[in-house]
Structure formats: C-alpha cells, structure tokens
Amino acid sequence: MRFNPGSVLDVSQVSDRRGRGALIGGGGLGIVGLLLALVLGVNPADLGGFTGGGGGTTQTTSDLAAKCRTGADADRYDDCRVVGVANSVQAYWSESVRGYREAQTVLFTGSVSTGCGSASSAVGPFYCPRDGTIYLDLSFWGDLESRFGARGGDFAQAYVIAHEYGHHVQTLLGASAGDDRQGPQSGSVRLELQADCYAGAWAANAVETGFITELTREDIGEGLSAAAAVGDDRIQEKAQGRVDPEAWTHGSAAQRQKWFTTGYESGSPRSCDTFSGAI
C-alpha cells in the first residue's frame, strides 16, 4: 500500500493521547481474557476490568500535525499512516452515506478514558458508539503478528482501522445486534462481518479517494491474513485449545475473510447485507 506523496493529511481527524493513561479498575483480564478480548470491534463496556466514567483530556495534536503533513509521511510513520487511512476511509464514506458525520480516532498508550468507560490496550482497537470515537494503541500492530500470527504489513493496519470505521457507519445507519450476542449466526457476528465487508468496500475504492496510489494483491492478502487471525475460532483455539461456535461474537476466520472479500469484489456497501439469510 502506497500513499499519494502529494496528498495533504488532515490531522484534525486523529487525537493524540499517548502518554496520558486512565486508571483501570478490577484485577485485569489475564492471558485468556486478553486473547479473547483482542478481537476487533469490541465494546469495552461489555468486558470486565473497566470502570465507569469517560471523557478524558485530549492532548494537543500540534506534534502530530508537525510530523504528519503529507502522504509521504503516512508511508514512513505508523501514526501518520493512521491519519492517512482515516482520511481516506472518511473521504469514501462521506461520498457513500448521506449526512455522514466524521469520527475521531484517538491514539493512546496503556489505557484511556472513553464514553464507554475506561479501557486497557489489552482489548485491542475498538469503537465506542456512545462517543462515536475509535480508540487505538499502536502496540496492537505488534500483537497482531506476534500473538495472533497475522502476516502484518501496512494494509493489515489499514484493514483494522477501516473495520472500526465500519462500526461508526453502522451507528449512523442504526444497525444493531440487539440482544443477540453470541453464536455463529448471531446478531453480534452479523454486525462484525458487516464491518469487515464495509472495510472491503472502502479498499476497493481507496485509490479514488486520492490519498492512496495503489493497492496490490499482496496488500489485500495482508488484510485477509489479519481478518483470519482475529476470527473467533482462531482466538478460541489459542486461548482454550478448543472451538465453541456458540460463544462466537465476531465470526470465524473463514467468515471474516469471506465478507471482507465480498465488499472488496463488489466495491459497494450494498453487498454487505449480513442480516439476511445465512452468513
């Protein structure tokens, strides 16, 4: 994945709270809980180890603005890459969803206060619908490879970010899992797979946003590797040595790859109806 070196990055879409942790209550998630929690799209309010409250103090983004000016910087630095991907994803959805409202991405280290409560980086990247914000600790990129066995790469990172913005689109459109929280055909799984499909639809149109110059077959392979690595079956196998489909909340590796591919090959969010029929 290469960014357009002449594109101008808009750092106002990303807030930098790195180095300003939030106090986390409880005894921690432990290794099994950590592995189960490190699934994309988790709502921190649904996990143990979180305290109430929210808001937090956002640092100035002046340092980020000085560092992340153009697409060339997005090719060079992880935090600037987050800005570039956020800019591209939101440019796409601004053209695809009438009345689209931009979402902030917050970079943090260790822990952070959110509208959904205080969260540890152990839960991985997540979207909080209560404040319409995506939260990301950049250390997750290392976890994605070392802990989950994904291939890694720049587009693996882009897939993660685009998936979280997919949840923001769902919030704007009123999509919900309701009380159907677990199981291979559950509302929760359907919601997550739709976010994967939305990520694929953005990828198909990423070059047209002007921020990205090309996506190669290898890039898409990185995204598919990341999608498979965070499948419920893969995570359960690592955490507990067995697979229990009735406890799935995000979908299997195969399901996640299938729906990302569906969005990518169609290039349209209209193909992402995961709520009708079998998935």
Whole-number mean pLDDT of the chain?
88
Residues in the chain: 279
Going by C-alpha positions, the residue among 16, 14, 168, 154 that lies closest to residue 83 is 14
pLDDT band at 103 (very low <50, low <70, confident <90, very high): very high
Other CB atoms closer than 10 Å to residue 20's CB: what's the count?
A: 16
Look at 279 and 33; give whichever has higher pLDDT: 279
The alpha carbon of residue 164 and the mean position of all alpha carbons in its chain are separated, in whole angstroms, by: 3
Per-residue model confidence (pLDDT) at position 255: 97
Per-residue model confidence (pLDDT) at position 22: 58
* Residue pair 23/111 in contact by the 8 Å Cβ criterion: yes
Per-residue model confidence (pLDDT) at position 51: 34
Arithmetic mean of pLDDT, 174-203: 95
> pLDDT of 132-148, one tens digit each?
999 999 999 998 998 88
Q: Of all residues in the chain, what percent carry a pLDDT higher than 70?
A: 85
Residue 35 has pLDDT above 50, yes or no: no
> pLDDT of 38-63, one tens digit each?
444 454 444 433 333 333 434 455 68
Arithmetic mean of pLDDT, 160-166: 98
- Secondary structure of 129-149 as H, E, C letters: CCCCEEEECCCHHHHHHHCCC
* Residue pair 269/201 in contact by the 8 Å Cβ criterion: yes
Backbone angles phi, psi at 216, to 5 degrees: -95, 170
> pLDDT of 219-277, one tens digit each?
999 999 999 999 999 999 999 999 999 999 999 999 999 999 999 999 999 999 999 98
* Residue pair 200/171 in contact by the 8 Å Cβ criterion: no
β-pairing verdict for 104-107 and 111-114: unpaired
- Strand ranges (DSSP E) for 189-238? 212-214
Going by C-alpha positions, the residue among 263, 272, 274 that lies closest to residue 201 is 263
Arithmetic mean of pLDDT, 74-83: 97
Structure tokens at 103: 């979402």
Per-residue model confidence (pLDDT) at position 61: 59
Backbone angles phi, psi at 106, to 5 degrees: -110, 125
Structure tokens at 229: 């690595």
